[in-house]
Each structure stands twice: as C-alpha cells, then as structure tokens.
C-alpha cells in the first residue's frame, strides 16, 4: 500500500476550509487543519463570489451553489449600478452591470457551510503555530501550547500576517503587508432600516449600488436571503494608524470626504447608517504588493497568506477558491511525498501571475472609485471606460486551461 501524504493546513478561515474540502477528494492525502483561535469562525460582513469563483467551487464541492443558498443565506448578485455620489455631476450614471454576477452572503455562515462538509476530527482549534522547520523528509511544526507534529507538507492559509509566509519568504520584510491607501467602515442593518434611511428608490430594483466620488465611495447591497443590507463607506487614507483601526465619528467622515458628498443623493444617509452602531470602527486596507514566491520546499501559501488584495474588485474570496481548485488537482496527480515540492512549484508558476494582476488592478480600482485616478477624476464616462479595463480580466480566466497549465508545469518539473 502507498503511504498517505500527510498535509497540515495552518489556518481555519475561508481559505483553509476550501483547501481542506479540495484535498479531501484525494484518497492519498491525509489533511489536518489547525486554527489559532479558540473556535473556527470568520469575522467581517459580506463577501461576493463571482460566476467564475462559483464555477471553481462547484469543481471542488458539487452542488456548492445550492449549499450556499440553503446554508449560508446566499443571494444573487443580479445587477450593479455605479453612480456619481458627489460634486456637480452627482446622480449621473457611470454604468449598469446587468445579469447573473454571482452570489453574496456573509462570511460567518459561509465558513460554517464549508466546514459542515469536513469531519470534525481533522479540525483542531486553539492551535497557534509557533515555528516550523523543514527536514529532508518533511516539515516539523510546533504550536504555542507546546505540542508538535511532523507532516509531509504544510499549506499556509493563515491570513495577511501569516507565520507560514515568513518561513516561505525567509523573513524578507520588504514583502510584508502594507497599506493600500484607503480605509473603510461597514454596518449590517435590517432591510427595513436601510429603506427608511436610504429611501425606497434604492430598492425598487434588486441590485447592488456603488456611489463613487471625490475622496471615497459608498456601497450597499442585500445579503442574508435579502433580509439584511451591507453598507460600506470607503475613504482615502493619508495617515496610517499602526493598529489599522480608527474610531469613526461624524467629524472624521466630514473631514475625509469632499463636502459635496453631503449635498448629494446618498452621502448624508450613508453616514447616518455608519454612525448607527455601537463604537463604529474604520479599518485600514492592506495588501501584499509583491511576493517573490508562493512556495519554499514542502511549504506552500494560499489565500490571503499568499496574496492579500484590497477588496475593491471583490475578488479575494474567488482567488482563494481558485487556489484550492488548482492545488487539489495538482496533489491528486502526484503519487508520493517526494513530488510535493514540484507540485508546489507548479502551483506558484500559474497562480502568482494571476493573483498579482488582481492585486494591482484592485488597488487601481480603489483609486478610480475614489476619484483619485489622474485624467479621470469624477468624470462618469471616463470612469466607465477605465472600469472595463480594470475589471475585464478577472472573470476572463479560462479555469480549465489554467488547470491544464498547472498540470503541464508539474509534469515538466517531474521530468527534470
């Protein structure tokens, strides 16, 4: 009998859960998932998954779309409308994005749905990684509680400030996370409250709204089976708090947003929603601007540990699903632990260019939506043209060709 390939996934958030589901499809792989927190949970509010992301997820979990609808409260992203929200052109239409754009849901129910498919005995909470060391035959990992284990490989899904990332990059500080240049505040409110504050007009058509303007942008969209509305106010950031957090007050928002927002169709109302919560907090948005490699020996990075991107294109969750899809296909092809390093190198070869492009265009999208793009500003027609350029590549990926490129790369590496 062939010995199982033992793989530790460090991080039990969305990326770790999706990778666990993907690797469990391969009988030769024995996967264990370690989460540093006392329980498996996901903070944060809404997340959107595009049609491409759902296609990749369906490859991992058949009937995934049905699962997300029934267990995660997912709702269709049927359409989006982008409108000027500030200045003399406030109310002008930038563009409408019609059709089936994917699903929106909140992160907690999504993680719960993904983990419901994974046996409890492979999930280990309260296991914060302290160190890992590669040997000729595997990877030794030690946790802060003093326990240790040895695996054939380790996959780091431990988020933006990943411990595994530091090992893969051999401590290269210049490739750590850094500010994008924006911060955001969010609130999740019942649909009745949102209609009362924002007005019934915004809900006559089932669509996501994005209001763009000078100094920031605002969004609102239905989630949780259409019972709740996620509201976001995103602002340009010129100071960078070390803990990434700032207290949000009326004075703070009035200072950072152009005054014309408050004379426009949505600014005052969205500010009221942001302030209608206990201790409103704004969070700086950070990213990995560059990453020289996603793998080092028998250790590999996925999700935010590999390629934290800003949320301006809503693509971060989709990238993690693509990671799991490609990694699962690569590891289903190998026959022994000795081929793990080649599989991780093949993963890096195809995933890094794809993810780096999204990081770059997402950053540029945040600048565009905040009226900060030179020669575009808050001009509706120019914004629409620039959006086509920035967003067009994301869902244009041929998922099967991407998979084949990874598999071809693996075979070339194994033949060397």
Q: Which residues pair with 235 in a beta bridge?
A: 183, 216
Q: What pLDDT score was predicted for residue 99?
A: 65
The answer to whether the CB of 324 falls within 8 A of the CB of 331 is no
What tokens were used for 257? 């947003």
Task: Indicate the CATH number for domain 5-70+106-176+288-377+394-415.
Answer: 3.50.50.60
Q: Which residues of 70-88 are buried (b: 16+ CB within 10 A; e: fewer)?
A: ebbbbbebbbbbbbbbbbe
Determine the Cα–Cα distance for residues 136 and 160; give it in Å rounded to an integer.
28
The answer to whether the CB of 236 falls within 8 A of the CB of 367 is no
Provide the 3-class DSSP secondary structure of residue 322.
helix
Q: How many helices (H) and strands (E) does the chain have?
A: 13, 20
Phi first, then psi: give them for residue 368, nearest 5 degrees.
-60, -50
Is the pLDDT at 1 greater than 50? The verdict is no
Residue reference for tokens 């409308």: 81
Give percent above pLDDT 90 in the chain. Answer: 86
Nearest to 187 by CA among 284, 286, 85, 271: 271
Whole-model pTM?
0.94
pLDDT tens digits, 378-391: 999 999 999 999 99
Domain ranges of the chain: 5-70+106-176+288-377+394-415
Q: What pLDDT score was predicted for residue 173?
A: 77
Q: Which residues of 244-259 are buried (b: 16+ CB within 10 A; e: fewer)?
A: bebebeeebbeebbbe
Determine the Cα–Cα distance for residues 315 and 100; give it in Å rounded to an integer.
16
pLDDT tens digits, 278-337: 999 999 999 999 999 999 999 999 999 999 999 999 999 999 999 999 999 999 999 999
How big, in percent rounded to 5, are the helix, strand and coil portions of the chain?
40, 25, 35
Q: Got the DSSP string for 245-303?
A: EEE--HHHHHHHS-GGGGGSSSHHHHHHHHHSSSS-EEEEEEE----S-SEETTEEE-T
The answer to whether the CB of 44 falls within 8 A of the CB of 184 is no
pLDDT tens digits, 28-81: 999 999 999 999 988 767 788 999 999 999 999 999 999 999 999 898 877 889
What tokens were used for 157? 């899904």
The answer to whether the CB of 55 falls within 8 A of the CB of 187 is no
pLDDT tens digits, 120-152: 999 999 999 999 999 998 999 999 999 999 999
């Amino acid at each position: 009998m062939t010995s199982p390939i033992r793989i530790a996934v460090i991080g039990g958030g969305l990326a770790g859960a999706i990778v666990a589901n993907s690797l469990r499809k391969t009988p030769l792989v024995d996967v264990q998932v370690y989460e540093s927190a006392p329980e498996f949970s996901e903070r944060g509010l809404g997340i959107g998954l595009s049609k491409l992301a759902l296609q990749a997820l369906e490859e991992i979990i058949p009937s995934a779309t049905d699962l997300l609808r029934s267990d995660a409260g997912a709702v269709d992203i049927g359409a989006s409308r982008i409108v000027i929200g500030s200045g003399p052109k406030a109310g002008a239409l930038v563009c409408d994005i019609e059709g089936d754009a994917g699903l929106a849901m909140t992160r907690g129910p999504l993680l719960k749905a993904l983990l419901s498919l994974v046996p409890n005995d492979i999930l280990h909470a309260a296991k914060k990684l302290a160190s890992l060391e590669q040997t000729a035959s595997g990877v030794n990992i030690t946790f802060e509680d003093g326990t240790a284990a040895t695996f054939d490989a380790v996959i780091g899904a431990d988020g933006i400030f990943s411990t595994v990332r530091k090992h893969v990059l051999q401590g290269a500080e210049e490739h750590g996370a850094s500010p994008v240049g924006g911060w955001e505040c969010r609130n999740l409110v019942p649909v009745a409250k949102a209609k009362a504050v924002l007005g019934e007009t915004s809900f006559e058509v089932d669509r996501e709204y994005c209001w763009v303007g000078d100094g920031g942008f605002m969004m609102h969209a239905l989630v949780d089976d259409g019972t709740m509305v996620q509201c976001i106010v995103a602002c340009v950031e010129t100071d960078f708090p070390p803990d990434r957090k700032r207290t949000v007050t009326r004075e703070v928002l009035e200072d950072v947003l152009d005054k014309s927002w408050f004379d426009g169709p949505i600014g005052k109302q969205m500010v009221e929603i942001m302030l209608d919560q206990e201790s409103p907090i704004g969070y700086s948005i950070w990213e990995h601007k560059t990453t020289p490699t996603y793998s080092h020996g028998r250790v590999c990075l996925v999700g935010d540990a590999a390629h934290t991107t800003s949320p301006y294109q809503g693509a971060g969750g989709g990238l993690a699903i693509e990671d799991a899809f490609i990694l699962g296909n690569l590891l289903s092809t190998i026959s022994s632990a000795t081929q793990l390093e080649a599989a991780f190198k093949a993963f890096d070869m195809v995933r890094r260019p794809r993810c780096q492009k999204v990081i770059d265009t997402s950053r540029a999208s945040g600048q565009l939506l905040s009226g900060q793009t030179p020669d575009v500003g808050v001009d509706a027609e120019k914004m629409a043209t620039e959006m086509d350029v920035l967003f067009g590549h994301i869902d244009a990926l041929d998922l099967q060709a991407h998979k084949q490129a990874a598999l071809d790369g693996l075979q070339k590496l194994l033949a060397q």
